[in-house]
């Protein structure tokens, strides 16, 4: 049986923070404080979760094993320094896009042990994927704790180069939005071809969801699975001839990921 999770201080309990908190509770978390100015889901998780409006209201004597920042990156300068008092005793886990370890250390102090990670929204159904980077000051035990907290909502991978977190943010952090856009466009195109709206929504959603399930279950490359669907001189081949023009998906996806990566880096400033 695994060791119980230590007390957790969650700063920000929006969709991602709330999903992570629910996952930790499912893993047996017994004590947590959520800093949530507009209590929503966190307020319903009592008594194991104490919800407070701001850092000043954290109960006296509360000693977290980890402080998790799940606020918008633009809020970091005003928010993060309020928790510097926990440096030297707690792991700091940030899921804020673009906020670097160096920038976080400036706000928290030199003793801060920081893990930077980027999860994605399928965490809400425990199917997320997160990539993490642990600063050199993070101990093996602290990295193991971060890994456990992140695995509560899905799959975890680690990189040794922090700069890779920016393209990770572009690919997997934003990836669900790209997939949802595909479902949205498939549905709209089906309606354009005369398919009833309710049927169009059903087939678009289930095609995306089913294809994802097949991709997960298969050991073959995505390119092989694509070719398996594409009969020579068939309807799929005709559609892919449009989508795979250099000016279509190959160029657009590359440009989109580059743009999102650039924006992640801009958020650090």
One-character DSSP codes across 70-138: -S-GGGHHHHGGGGGGGTTTSEEEE--TT--HHHHHHHH-TT-EEEEEE--GGGGGT-EEEEEEE-TT-
Order of strands, edge to edge, in the sheet holding 154-158? 49-52, 32-35, 8-11, 66-69, 91-94, 113-118, 128-134, 154-158
Predicted pLDDT of residue 42: 59
Asked whether the beta carbons of 182 and 126 are under 8 A apart, the reply is: no
pLDDT tens digit string along 103-114?
999 999 988 999
Instruction: Enter the pTM of the model.
Output: 0.92
How much of the chain, in percent, has pLDDT values that exceed 70? 96
- How many whole angstroms separate alpha carbon 159 and alpha carbon 173? 15
Domains of the chain, start order: 8-162 (3.40.50.720), 175-266 (1.10.3730.10)
**Residue 269, pLDDT above cutoff 70:** no
Percent of the chain with pLDDT over 90: 90
Whether pLDDT at 38 is above 60: yes
Q: Tens digits of per-residue pLDDT, 59-109?
A: 999 999 999 999 999 999 999 999 999 999 999 999 999 999 999 999 999
Query: What does the mean pLDDT of the chain come to?
Result: 94
pLDDT at 268: 80
pLDDT in tens, 233-242: 999 999 999 9
Question: Which structure tokens are listed for 208?
Answer: 């995306």
Statement: residue 47 has pLDDT above 80: no
pLDDT by residue (tens digit) across 214-267?
999 999 999 999 999 999 999 999 999 999 999 999 999 999 999 999 999 998
Confidence of residue 161 (pLDDT cuts 50, 70, 90): very high
């Amino acid at each position: 049986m695994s060791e119980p999770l230590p007390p957790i201080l969650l700063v920000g309990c929006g969709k991602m923070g709330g999903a992570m908190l629910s996952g930790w509770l499912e893993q047996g978390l017994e004590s947590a404080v959520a800093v949530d100015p507009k209590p929503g889901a966190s307020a319903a998780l009592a008594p194991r979760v104490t919800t407070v409006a701001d850092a000043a209201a954290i109960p006296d004597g509360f000693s977290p094993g980890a402080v998790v920042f799940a606020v918008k990156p633009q809020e970091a300068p005003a928010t993060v320094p309020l928790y510097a008092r926990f440096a030297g005793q707690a792991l700091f886990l940030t899921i804020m896009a673009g906020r670097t370890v160096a920038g976080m250390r400036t706000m928290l102090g030199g003793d801060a042990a920081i893990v930077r990670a980027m999860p994605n929204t399928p965490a809400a159904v425990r199917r997320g994927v997160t990539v993490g980077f642990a600063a050199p000051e993070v101990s093996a035990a602290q990295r193991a704790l971060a890994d456990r907290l992140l695995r509560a909502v899905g799959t975890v991978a680690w990189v040794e180069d922090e700069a890779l977190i920016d393209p990770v943010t572009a690919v997997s952090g934003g990836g669900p939005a790209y997939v949802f856009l595909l479902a949205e466009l498939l549905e709209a195109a089906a309606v354009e071809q005369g398919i009833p709206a309710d049927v169009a929504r059903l087939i678009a959603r289930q095609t995306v969801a089913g294809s994802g399930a097949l991709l997960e279950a298969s050991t073959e490359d995505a390119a092989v699975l694509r070719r398996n669907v594409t009969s020579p001189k068939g309807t799929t081949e005709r559609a892919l001839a449009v989508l795979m023009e250099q000016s279509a998906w190959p160029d657009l996806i590359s440009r989109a990921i580059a743009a999102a990566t650039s924006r992640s880096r801009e958020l650090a400033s």
